[in-house]
Structures are given as structure tokens and as C-alpha cells.
Amino acid sequence: MTETEMYTYNPVDGTDTCKVSFSFELKEEEGKIIIKQLIIDGEKGCIGHNKSISLLVRDRAVQDLPIEELKEAGCKRASSCSQELAKALELLLKSRK
């Protein structure tokens, strides 16, 4: 991947989460997948979570993110923003193998 590439994750239908999609702009650098931008779309929930999470992952390698810790961040819903982000990152990494 020399140019940026888009990757979109949509939570499984019926998942109790307020996020609808996670759209990543990615670029491969030195063998790692770098998140250049993340846009989180959600019908409900706090817009602050979307902005904060996007800022925290921007310009970071997917391989270096704390996926296991993201899975632990709960919510009043069945699946939190962080848990859905973890699922998206795992699927992204799995698709690259």
C-alpha cells in the first residue's frame, strides 16, 4: 500500500452499540499499517468519544494499539465504542495476513 487506502468497519446488525461505522484512512509505512484518519459515525452517544478516539489513534500503527485494553472499556450498552474499535482493528489485521 503506497497510497492511502480506505477501510470501513460496520458493527454486526443487531449489536447494541450507538456507532454505525468506523472509516479508516490507512497507509503502510515501514511494514506497519498507520491510521492517518478515523471517522466514527453514530446515531446516538457522545460525539466527544468519536473525536477523542479519532485523535488518539491518528498517525499510530494499528499493530501498536492496545487492542486488549480497548476490549475492556465498557459502556451502558452491550458494546462500547472502544470494544467496536477493537473488533475493527482485529478484523483489519486478520485481513492483512
Tens digit of each residue's pLDDT (9 = 90 or more) over 65-97: 999 999 999 888 898 989 999 999 999 999 987
Say if residues 84 and 11 touch (Cβ distance below 8 Å): yes
Question: What class is the 5-95 domain?
Answer: alpha beta
Domain ranges of the chain: 5-95
* CA atoms of 32 and 20, how far apart (whole Å): 26
* pTM across the whole model: 0.89
pLDDT higher than 60, residue 8: yes
Tens digit of each residue's pLDDT (9 = 90 or more) over 45-66: 777 778 899 999 999 999 999 9
